[in-house]
Chains A and B, each alone.
Chain A
Amino acid sequence: MYSEKTNRIVIYTVGFVFLALFVWCLVKPVDDFSASERRPLKSMPELTIESVVNGRFMEEFETYASDQFPLRDLFRRGKVWFAESVLGQKEQNKIYREEGHLSKLEYPLDLESVENAGEQFQSLYQYYVKDAGGKAYLSIVPDKNLFLAEPNGYPSMDYEALVEQLRATTPDLEYVDIFPLLQVEDYYDTDPHWRQEQIVDVAEKLLQAMQTSAREQMEPAEDRAVVQEPEICLLDTPFYGVYAGQYGLKTEGEPIYYLKYADFDNCIVTDLETNQSIPIYDMERAKGRDPYEMFLSGSKSLLRIDNPTGPKGKRLILFRDSFGSSIAPLFVPCYEQIILVDIRYIRGDVLQYFVDFKGADVLFLYSTLVLNNSITLQGNLHIN
């Protein structure tokens, strides 16, 4: 049925594409990092007799070939466009777009994971806080699926059950409910995190809850969280959150605002892992791969913020995940010292060598994303 010409057109066009991509794959310089997916890309695996015999070379080459494929992002975009427009699939790689927001499905609720997190918090309380004269609080940051998933027909975890489970396993922690203060606008459009300029009310509620007893002995002027007005600053580069690249299709950049209190000029932030001083807002990281890391320089196991102008003797130990990085600066005016602990990067039993819990407020502030995947937490105590 097909003419000679038809056959030649198919051979030449498809053949050319295969040949061109073959040559391109061979000569293309190796990329180390995918900016869009925020992950390192696989480099050429080492070729040894052992790696060939045990199959490791071939296995790693498959990943290398896929990671280093020419125009990878463009091809991914084509796939996502097809899946959305033709197959009508609104969610790709668990990421969906609704109400101008990108979000990643977090489903189903893993009660065992939540219980594991709660037990770790409770044991940290028992060991460090109970006899140290301070009080411990618990608050949960909902991920934005709470506002986007169920109303738009996506599967959603049972947030009530999550809170209930966590509270049941942490009977000694006073729960502070911040759910009613949050809505989807309080989160970045393309990132899971909340916007710092939108959570002042959340910070105030937590501070009020923690300072209720202290405020009774405090002069009104000392209620510093209320009296200080922050300066609102705007980062000069647009922000593309972690979901922007993972999603595949192009998205709009959005602004990052950050809040500055007068006290910040005198504050010293120390990374206790390296004993080096770091800024509250890291402008180098703001220009980096993940601008959200500008808040207290991103993932850090142990940080200390010293505020010489803060209320004397007031100290806060904040057990936190990445959501804590942007809210912690808002606590600064109310404390002389804040210690931020991320038990994803430091074991619970090591804390005794670095952190003095005596008389300090202790706040466990964790997002539902971490609570539902608490395998990363290392708060279990292995102390004899």
Chain B
Amino acid sequence: MVFSGIPFLFYFLPFFLIVYFAVPARFRNTVLLLASLFFYGWGEPRFVPVLILMIVQGFLFGILIEKGWHPKACLITSLVLSLGTLGVCKYGNFFLENFRTLTGLPIALLRITLPIGISFYTFQMISYVVEVYWKKVPAQKNFVNLAMYIAMFPQLVAGPIVRYDEIAEEVAHRKTVPEEVSYGIRRFVIGLAKKVIIANSLGEFCTGFKESASISVVYAWCYGIAYALQIYYDFSGYSDMAIGLGRILGFHFSENFRYPFVSKSATEFWRRWHISLGSWFRDYVYIPLGGNRVSKGRWYLNIMVVWGLTGFWHGASWNFLLWGLFFGVLLILEKRFLLQRLENAKVWNHIYMFLVIVFSFLLFDSLNLREGLGYLACMFGAGDAPFITAETVYFVRKYLILICMALVGATPVVAGVFGWLAEKLLQKKETTWLWHVGETIVLLGLLVLVIGFLVDGSFNPFLYFRF
């Protein structure tokens, strides 16, 4: 089930919220867990046991580690089980295929499909077990509470990766206050609109480009920009919905995106893009490897390892690995030579980073390296692609306003304008009603539009599901 679908929005969610708030607080974790298993099972019922087994092993090893029963062995066993499941399901065929290519041996591939969200909940499980091992948090003695933390549907299939120490307190005790619920609703509706109205529409443009028989230089550039925006709106929209739902239920998930398109460097970009993944790798891989408190050579190696893994986390394919390593190289170059200049520059740093984002996501969206390089070559007029075609003019004209709106929305401008307006109108008693009416109209208008887009079109992919 996806957040941006009618079954979730108008069947599952209202029913769940009615039951959740109707039952006494002590039963809410159970309700949330059962709802989450139903939510997960809706898409892939056969993978529910995988999720439950993952939780059971994490629960048992967490307790054993806390009790001091061979903690290191327990940690390693738990990590092997977690990463082993992820490795077999997600990377098994990648390694087998490459091994087969290298050796020419007729090795059969595994008949396995990737369980939805496995990359996210595996990382959450690891975070829990490691935190218990580091004695940062006590082991969770209540199985329902731990299972609820791992399986919680707002962040189960597409993140953000919620670290156990961030919400350990709220798992046990949380309050529902109107301010939080209202914030959650706002955030959820805005995320929904980002996903359904903007990301899906940009996706149509990108699909049109890929299916086109007459691509051109201008079309390729527009596609590059549109795809980078699509993946941002798709993923950040989903994160907004997750954070919003969390707030409605009383959880505070940390932010996952902070306007990555305004970054001045790749270093800054990774502080603004998929923050929960970046911080996970920082805390559980980069720092344990020694971080930057090692020799320069080792430091650079650590960076490449972390960014190689970050890329590889996104998918079992060479282009994801190269995508991650591309950022690793950039980060090293920035740390070595560029960062200070980028920080002090006025405009070209934004242009540099914008191009980096566009080029890197071309690789991200390609089936293989060859396809990615092909698009890149087309952008620079290599090959026989014309500069512009009638088809390009038509499709770019059709999506131009949307792309411009998406570009502006990817900066803090819109939020800034709304914040300023709210402050002005809510300051004076006589203009407060204007804000109330205006905000309500905007939220309901967005909701109406979202429903219109959902019932009118069938184009509703979700990019981060494959991770």
Residue numbers of A with Cβ under 8 A of B are 1-11, 13-15, 17-19, 21-22, 25, 52-53, 55, 58, 61-62, 65-66, 69, 72, 75-80, 82, 86-93, 108, 153-155, 248
Contact of B6 among A6, A13, A65 (CB under 8 A): A65
Give the residues in chain A near B213, CB-CB below 8 Å: 108
A14–B456 touching, CB < 8 Å: no
- Taken together as a complex, chains A and B put the C-alpha atoms of A309 and B399 apart, in Å, by 59
B423 within 8 A of A: yes
Most chain A CB inside 10 Å of its own CB: which residue of B1, B10, B181, B393: B10
A21–B10 touching, CB < 8 Å: yes
A78–B182 touching, CB < 8 Å: no
CB distance from A15 to the nearest CB of B (A): 7
- Taken together as a complex, chains A and B put the C-alpha atoms of A53 and B11 apart, in Å, by 20
Contact of B402 among A58, A72, A87, A90 (CB under 8 A): A87
A14–B185 touching, CB < 8 Å: yes
- Taken together as a complex, chains A and B put the C-alpha atoms of A58 and B46 apart, in Å, by 13
Give a binary string over B364-405; 1 marks a CB under 8 Å from any A CB, 0 the rest.
000000000000000000000000001101110111111001
A9–B455 touching, CB < 8 Å: no
Beta-carbon nearest neighbor of A72 in chain B:
B455
Q: A11-B178, A13-B443 are in contact. Are A65 and B456 (CB under 8 A)?
A: no
- Taken together as a complex, chains A and B put the C-alpha atoms of A17 and B447 apart, in Å, by 9
- Taken together as a complex, chains A and B put the C-alpha atoms of A80 and B451 apart, in Å, by 12
Beta-carbon nearest neighbor of B449 in chain A:
A82
Beta-carbon nearest neighbor of B189 in chain A:
A14
Q: Can you spell out 24 A-B residue pairs with CB atoms less than 8 angstroms apart?
A: A1-B419, A1-B426, A2-B182, A3-B426, A6-B436, A8-B178, A9-B436, A18-B13, A18-B14, A22-B15, A25-B6, A52-B45, A53-B45, A55-B44, A65-B7, A65-B10, A69-B451, A75-B452, A76-B452, A79-B449, A82-B449, A87-B401, A89-B398, A154-B394
- Taken together as a complex, chains A and B put the C-alpha atoms of A92 and B398 apart, in Å, by 10
Contact of A1 among B390, B397, B422, B436 (CB under 8 A): B422
* Tally of chain B residues near chain A (CB < 8 A): 59
Contact of B182 among A7, A18, A79, A91 (CB under 8 A): A7
B71 within 8 A of A: no
Contact of B443 among A2, A14, A65, A248 (CB under 8 A): A14
A79–B456 touching, CB < 8 Å: yes
User: Which B10-38 residues sit within 8 Å CB-CB of chain A?
Assistant: 10-11, 13-15
Q: A14-B447, A108-B213 are in contact. Are A2 and B426 (CB under 8 A)?
A: yes
Beta-carbon nearest neighbor of B212 in chain A:
A108
A2–B179 touching, CB < 8 Å: yes
B432 within 8 A of A: yes
A61–B394 touching, CB < 8 Å: no
B409 within 8 A of A: no
Beta-carbon nearest neighbor of B185 in chain A:
A14
Give the residues in chain B near A6, CB-CB below 8 Å: 182, 426, 432, 435-436, 439
Contact of A62 among B6, B44, B395, B448 (CB under 8 A): B6
B408 within 8 A of A: no
Beta-carbon nearest neighbor of B14 in chain A:
A22
Q: A14-B447, A155-B390 are in contact. Are A79 and B452 (CB under 8 A)?
A: yes
**A-B contact number at CB 8 A:** 143
B11–A65 touching, CB < 8 Å: yes
Contact of B14 among A4, A19, A72 (CB under 8 A): A19
A248–B398 touching, CB < 8 Å: no
- Taken together as a complex, chains A and B put the C-alpha atoms of A11 and B17 apart, in Å, by 13
A91–B452 touching, CB < 8 Å: no
A153–B397 touching, CB < 8 Å: yes
Give the residues in chain A near B271, CB-CB below 8 Å: none
- Taken together as a complex, chains A and B put the C-alpha atoms of A345 and B179 apart, in Å, by 62
Give the residues in chain A near B393, CB-CB below 8 Å: 153
Most chain A CB inside 10 Å of its own CB: which residue of B46, B179, B183, B399: B179
Q: Is the interface of A mostly helix, strand, loop or mixed?
A: helix
B182–A8 touching, CB < 8 Å: yes
Give the residues in chain A near B15, CB-CB below 8 Å: 22
Give the residues in chain A near B395, CB-CB below 8 Å: 155
Contact of A7 among B13, B179, B402, B443 (CB under 8 A): B179
B43 within 8 A of A: yes
B7–A15 touching, CB < 8 Å: no
CB distance from B48 to the nearest CB of A (A): 11
Give the residues in chain A near B87, CB-CB below 8 Å: none
Contact of A78 among B186, B401, B436, B448 (CB under 8 A): B448
Beta-carbon nearest neighbor of A105 in chain B:
B394
B444–A90 touching, CB < 8 Å: no
Give the residues in chain B near A90, CB-CB below 8 Å: 398
- Taken together as a complex, chains A and B put the C-alpha atoms of A90 and B401 apart, in Å, by 12
- Taken together as a complex, chains A and B put the C-alpha atoms of A86 and B13 apart, in Å, by 30
Q: A7-B179, A11-B182, A14-B189 are in contact. Are A25 and B10 (CB under 8 A)?
A: yes
- Taken together as a complex, chains A and B put the C-alpha atoms of A72 and B455 apart, in Å, by 7
Contact of A10 among B6, B182, B398, B426 (CB under 8 A): B182
B6–A9 touching, CB < 8 Å: no
Beta-carbon nearest neighbor of B402 in chain A:
A87
CB distance from A355 to the nearest CB of B (A): 39
Beta-carbon nearest neighbor of B394 in chain A:
A155
A155–B391 touching, CB < 8 Å: yes
B178–A4 touching, CB < 8 Å: yes
CB distance from B181 to the nearest CB of A (A): 6
B301 within 8 A of A: no
- Taken together as a complex, chains A and B put the C-alpha atoms of A15 and B15 apart, in Å, by 12
B454 within 8 A of A: yes
Q: A17-B447, A78-B448 are in contact. Are A10 and B456 (CB under 8 A)?
A: no
Give the residues in chain A near B92, CB-CB below 8 Å: none
Beta-carbon nearest neighbor of A5 in chain B:
B436
User: Which B177-219 residues sit within 8 Å CB-CB of chain A?
Assistant: 178-179, 181-183, 185-186, 189, 201, 213-214
Contact of A75 among B182, B399, B432, B455 (CB under 8 A): B455
- Taken together as a complex, chains A and B put the C-alpha atoms of A8 and B223 apart, in Å, by 42
Beta-carbon nearest neighbor of A79 in chain B:
B452
B453 within 8 A of A: yes
Beta-carbon nearest neighbor of B437 in chain A:
A9
CB distance from A77 to the nearest CB of B (A): 8
Give the residues in chain A near B144, CB-CB below 8 Å: none
- Taken together as a complex, chains A and B put the C-alpha atoms of A55 and B435 apart, in Å, by 45
- Taken together as a complex, chains A and B put the C-alpha atoms of A62 and B42 apart, in Å, by 11
- Taken together as a complex, chains A and B put the C-alpha atoms of A90 and B397 apart, in Å, by 10
Beta-carbon nearest neighbor of B458 in chain A:
A66
User: Which B236-273 residues sit within 8 Å CB-CB of chain A?
Assistant: none
Q: A153-B397, A155-B394 are in contact. Are A10 and B440 (CB under 8 A)?
A: yes
B10–A22 touching, CB < 8 Å: yes
Besides A5-B436, A18-B9, 14 more A-B contacts (Cβ < 8 Å) are A1-B419, A4-B178, A7-B182, A10-B182, A13-B444, A21-B14, A58-B1, A66-B455, A69-B10, A80-B456, A87-B201, A88-B400, A155-B391, A155-B394
B5 within 8 A of A: yes
Give a binary string over B423-463; 1 marks a CB under 8 Å from any A CB, 0 the rest.
10010000010011001100110011101111111000000
Give the residues in chain B near A2, CB-CB below 8 Å: 179, 182, 422, 426
CB distance from A296 to the nearest CB of B (A): 33
- Taken together as a complex, chains A and B put the C-alpha atoms of A2 and B43 apart, in Å, by 38
Beta-carbon nearest neighbor of B393 in chain A:
A153
CB distance from B245 to the nearest CB of A (A): 12
- Taken together as a complex, chains A and B put the C-alpha atoms of A93 and B458 apart, in Å, by 10
A55–B449 touching, CB < 8 Å: no
CB distance from A82 to the nearest CB of B (A): 6
Give the residues in chain A near B455, CB-CB below 8 Å: 66, 69, 72, 75-76, 79
- Taken together as a complex, chains A and B put the C-alpha atoms of A108 and B212 apart, in Å, by 9
- Taken together as a complex, chains A and B put the C-alpha atoms of A20 and B398 apart, in Å, by 35
A82–B452 touching, CB < 8 Å: yes
Most chain B CB inside 10 Å of its own CB: which residue of A4, A53, A92, A155: A155
